[in-house]
Amino acid sequence: MRQGRFLKYILSLALITPFAYQAQSQNVNAASAFAGKEDTYYKLCSSKKLSKSKQQTCQEFNTYLKGRSKDLKSQIASTKKSVQSTKSSITTMQKKITSLNSQINTTKKRIAYVKVSIANTEKALNKKESTLKNRIYAAQATTNSNSYVSYLFGADSFSDFFSRVSTVGDITSYENDLMDQINKTKANLKTQKQTLTATQANLTSARRQSKVILSQYNEKLKEQEATLRKSTGDLGNNEESIQQIAKNLADMKEAERKAAVAAAKIAAQKKALAEAKEKAEAEAREKARIAAQRQAAAEAAAKKAQEEAEEKRRAAEEASAAKKAAAEAAAKKAQAEAAAKKKAAQQAASAAQNASASSNASSNAQGNDDDNSSSSNSASTSNSSASSANSSASDDNDSSSSNAAASSNSSSNSSNSSSDDTSSKSQSSTSSSSSTSDDSASAKVTNASVSGDDIALKALSKRGAPYVWGASGPSTFDCSGLVWWAHAQCGINFGRTDTRGLSSMGSTVSYGNLQPGDVLIFSSNGSYSGIHHTGIYIGNGMMVHAPHSGATVSVVTVSSGYYRNQFYTARRLY
């Protein structure tokens, strides 16, 4: 178990060590790359526009500067310690020099004192020597020859004199003791003087050395303080550069972030615009498709209505021709019958005349009156038959004309009902079309008390009702169904018709004179053939309408945009 843990530890250490060495190697390489080139990189990293690679270089340079700041701080701390140590040494040395000066002054005073003592002692000794010389001379002068005296007093010094006297051996014990005392005193004073002189020399030398050391310490302190100032200045500049470079890099990152946000915002706006454009185009395509479908349906319905009208017209013409032929045949038959009756009457009259040729005058007169009456009755009968035939023919012709007119009116109304939102095609018949045509021709209100506001309010009351093609209310509508329903609710009954039918009703109203309740007609091509939609004007440039499948009755503007461009005409039906 322990061996396993040890192996794991060894493997971990083996994996970590190369990375640590690599990181250390990279730091060393970075330091060697930037060392001595700081000014160049200061200038580079002060630029407000840097590429990604240069930003990375400046980041590494800033890391190098931070390491340098750390070294400078360590160096400054060490230099400060050295300065304090040097200042302490200078203080110690100054105290030592002060002490040496004090000792030198004390030694000088002692030397001066010893010199005075020596001078005084020498005076006393000289006096004693003189006294001793005199005594010895007096003693020797009385006992010895002049040559001996000359020998003694020929000495160079008192010591020499005393030595000669000692050699001669004529000195008394007192004199000998006195001489020893004098010699000891001289030797002692000499020793003191030598000692003090040596001490003064040593102190002076020590002071001189101390001053040299103090001067060295002062020079060292100046150098250390200069180094400290330079290091402190370098550290300040280094820290300032670090902050400036960091700020510059941060500003660039912030600028990049803002640019990215702005770019994202612009991209989102472009995307939204593109989506809106695509949606608008899709809606336009859908509307165009619906309009095309409605147009195609309207054209197909118009064509079918036209074909039906043409068929009815031909049937009416054929019926009229048949009735006319029958009337003509009946008239001819009546005329033939009248002629036959007339001829028979004439033949009967002629036979009667022949039969009564032998009658008397009164009988002839009576016979003539009867003939005239008979002739008159026959003529009357013939005329009555002809008149009846003619009347029958005339009635047939009027009926035929009336039927033809009705067929024509029905065809006209069917043609007018070709709008894509036509809702009355399946309800129309020949009689209803004729009635609708008559109502449309009048196109005026049967209720003079109704206002356009009433019509607009009725239409507005159905906002939210679903659109259903061909519906006329009260819960679902198409565009023309809503117009018809609103008018019908106000007592204006013009018959259920389509948008094109509405375009020819009532009186024309210009766009500038629109009033609430006016019927608006819209066309895709500015002509009758492009009519595709209708609504009711409610004022303030707005209308209420049933738009299309999937929508509900709503209010839209007609003062601008799609419906303003599609406006064809306006009709006032009240």
Q: Rounded distance, CA 71 to CA 80, Å?
A: 14
Half-sphere exposure of 255 (CA within 13 A, CB side): 9
Q: Is 548 a catalytic residue?
A: no
Q: Are strands 542-545 and 531-539 parallel, antiparallel or unpaired?
A: antiparallel
Q: Are strands 542-545 and 567-572 parallel, antiparallel or unpaired?
A: unpaired
Half-sphere exposure of 229 (CA within 13 A, CB side): 5
**Burial of residue 289 (number of CB atoms within 10 Å: 0-12, 13-18, 19+):** exposed
**Burial of residue 343 (number of CB atoms within 10 Å: 0-12, 13-18, 19+):** exposed
Asked if 572 and 509 touch (Cβ cutoff 8 Å), the reply is yes
Asked if 563 and 557 touch (Cβ cutoff 8 Å), the reply is yes
CA-CA-CA-CA torsion for 430, 432, 434, 436, nearest 10 degrees? -140
Which candidate, 383, 354, 483, 361, places its Cα nearest to that of 423?
483
Q: Are strands 554-557 and 519-523 parallel, antiparallel or unpaired?
A: unpaired
The active-site residue out of 58, 479, 487, 532 is 479
CA 549 vs CA 39, 290, 423: distances in Å: 76, 10, 14
Which candidate, 469, 464, 452, places its Cα nearest to that of 517?
452
Q: Assign residue 509 a region: left if phi > 0, alpha if psi is -120 to 50, beta otherwise?
A: beta
Q: Rounded distance, CA 355 to CA 367, Å?
A: 11
432-445 burial: b if 16+ Cβ within 10 Å, else e: ebbebbebbeebeb
Which candidate, 534, 469, 525, 542, places its Cα nearest to that of 503?
534
Q: Is 545 a catalytic residue?
A: yes
Q: Just list the catalytic residues.
A: 479, 533, 545
